[in-house]
Homo-oligomer: A and B are copies of this chain.
Amino acid sequence: MDATERFLNACYGRPVDRPPVWIMRQAGRYMSTYQAVRKQHSFLEVCKTPELACKVTMMPIDQLEPDAAILFCDIMVPMEVMGLDLDFRPGPHLEPPVRTMGDVDALKVDGVCDDLGYVYDAIRVIKKTLNDRVPLLGFAGSPFTLACYSVEGSTTRHHHHIKKMMLTQPEVLEALLGKLADVVAEFLGKQIDAGVQGVQLFDTWGGILDEASWRRFSLPFAKRVFEALEDRGVPRIFYIQNGSHLLHSIKEMPCEVLSVDWRQSLSEVRRIVGPKFALQGNLDPALMTTDDATIRAAVKAFFDDLESTQGIVVNLGHGITPDATLPAAQALVNAVKEFGPKAAK
């Protein structure tokens, strides 16, 4: 079974020889080869130069040999073409922050996805370079998560600007979310046109909301994105961080795969969301700061906990962090390859 068949089978809940494995942000600061590229080029330069994006995307493929590649890019890039200034220090900063209906009105929607040609070019270059070695995934931020950054202007501890907007100007937030849903749906559609074989939507900040707020301000807009991709024939992966309290509503997402953090075991998530979804995750990224023996034990325990390895994509619970080590990331992939076939049931 090749990596593409393994990955797609897992996403669609079909039999696999072993669960596939990849790592969110697998091309990242923990890699010395990536750091070397970043000494020469800014983060956005790498995103915007197809050859560099390809070079960096390929690094973990060569160094870890996982079962999927993910386009090197950032969820923020649509905000730039919609009209905000985007800068990384190293976290994303957007200016001016979106705070009023006038600010929302000023955001461009029509044609902006055409201005992201560097993304589709990168996809085409990567696909050619991969030459079917592993499938290539595209991604985008969920409308709510992009709204968070747009309204806050950067990563904030308490997200009080967007919450204040939610509480006092919900119509402004809904107008913003509507625009973002349209752009994100078109952006992912164009990524699929260019050749990605799966798409992941990151609702990174959805978990800051209570369920009623999430049902109003995240779910319908994320749903709209995925519904637009219904007939595209690629698996749709929905990622949420810190979403344990939302699982009963998350079940309504029209998607093939739910990707969750480490707070709940996948068997517990399975109990709540039922058999409909493949599940992706959810090892603690802290593991990537430890050693081979610790990682092997964690992967073994991960498999032991599962009732079935069908419909499972092994990953971390969120992106790998700069304090991770390359040997740790290799140990994770290797342990899945070692224990996965025995665990497969």
Q: Which residues of A are in contact with B by a Cβ distance under 8 Å?
A: 158-160, 163-164, 166-168, 207, 209-211, 242, 244-245, 262-265, 284-287, 289-291, 294, 298, 321, 323
Contact = CB atoms under 8 A, between A and B. Distances in A.
23 contacts: A158-B285, A158-B286, A159-B286, A160-B289, A160-B323, A164-B289, A164-B290, A166-B286, A167-B284, A167-B286, A167-B287, A167-B290, A167-B294, A167-B298, A168-B290, A168-B294, A207-B263, A209-B263, A211-B265, A244-B244, A244-B245, A245-B245, A245-B264
A263 B245 contact: yes
A26 to B, nearest CB: 17
A80 to B, nearest CB: 24
Contacts of A166: 286
Nearest to A265: B210
Contact of A210 (B262, B285, B294): B262
B291 A168 contact: yes
Contacts of A163: 284, 286, 289
Given A158-B321, A163-B284, 15 more contacts: A159-B286, A160-B285, A160-B323, A163-B286, A164-B289, A167-B287, A167-B298, A168-B290, A168-B291, A209-B263, A210-B265, A211-B264, A211-B265, A242-B242, A244-B245
Nearest to A207: B263
A210 B265 CA distance: 8
B210 A284 contact: yes
A188 to B, nearest CB: 28
Contact of A264 (B210, B298, B321): B210
A160 B160 CA distance: 26
A323 B287 CA distance: 36
Task: Please give me the 10 A-B residue pairs with the lowest Cβ-Cβ distance, nearest first.
Answer: A163-B286, A244-B245, A245-B263, A160-B286, A164-B289, A244-B244, A245-B264, A167-B290, A160-B289, A167-B294
